Amino acid sequence: MTRKVGIIGVGNVGSQVAFSLCTQGICDSLVLIDKNAKKAQSEAFDLLDMAAYTHPVSITTQDYDALDDADVVILAAGPEMMAQEDRLSELDETLAILDDVLPKLLHTAFRGIFVVITNPCDVVTHFVQERTGWDKQRVFGTGTALDTARMKRMVGSVLHVSPSSVEGFVLGEHGDSQFVAWSTVSIAGKAVTDFAVLDGDKIEQETRDAGWAILQGKGCTSFGIGTTAAMVMQAILTNEQRIIPVSTFDAKTGVYIGLPALVGRDGATTYYPKLNSAEKERYDASVAVIKQAIESKSTKLKS
């Protein structure tokens, strides 16, 4: 069975997602779509030049109809960010992108899974689901998967273990109100909070600021999110049933937010971790931030 992925928006992030999918042999067919048709075609040619040394992938550009039988479509289109902005500041421009993209996608026969990378991820995911009416399980965002990877890297560095040996999650908004759920973080079954050498506040702050630090130096983030998105694609296309902290629908609060979810061919099934009282307060605060952003734009759109 051909594994087909569409990527809408092939700038710094979308092109890196495509690169990761090709080099890791995760898909067999790609559809690249961008507002700049020449850019999409050039990215396709560049990716095809790797074919002799990687898993061969067929690539189509600028054709929404080619998404009819796609397993997954990724939204990676978005405005360029300035280092002083927060992710929510991108929302107006991103909603304009949805106005352009979603009607075209709705005119296709696409019935796969839709994954949002575009920031602000949680809020954009909400509007994608609301405007398309697609099943909530089959629409989700990359959420705090990248933030969790950053936390694991930092914890692993301090405790001298591989990041892959660190269990646990960053939860909440993929933004400034995110938090490390330390009660979920462990190594070999031992809570990392038992390690005196670990400065949790410092790690949490550096996790939250990691994207901005990268943005200030190179003008974008790409490798981390590209690899993260590829990992999510792998989970979907192989029906891996992997637990990943993505922006999934929380039926209890009515928002998309970073929570662990079981990811596979059917999309994302939300899991609710047991949080302590302090973490629950921080989670509720993050929900409020997302709700406020949604309500402010919903009110503006109706006025």
Q: Which residues are annotated as a binding site for NAD(+)?
A: 9-14, 34, 117-119
How many Å apart are CA 74 and CA 289, to the nearest integer? 25
How is residue 213 written in tokens?
């630090």
Residue type, 94: T
Q: By the 8 A CB rule, do 187 and 161 touch?
A: yes
How many Å apart are CA 235 and CA 193, to the nearest integer? 30
Catalytic residue among 55, 126, 160, 174: 174
Binding site: residue ranges? 9-14, 34, 117-119
Report CA-CA distances (Å) from 10 to 79, 207, 222, 293: 12, 26, 11, 26
Residue 160 designated active-site = no
Q: Which residues are catalytic?
A: 174
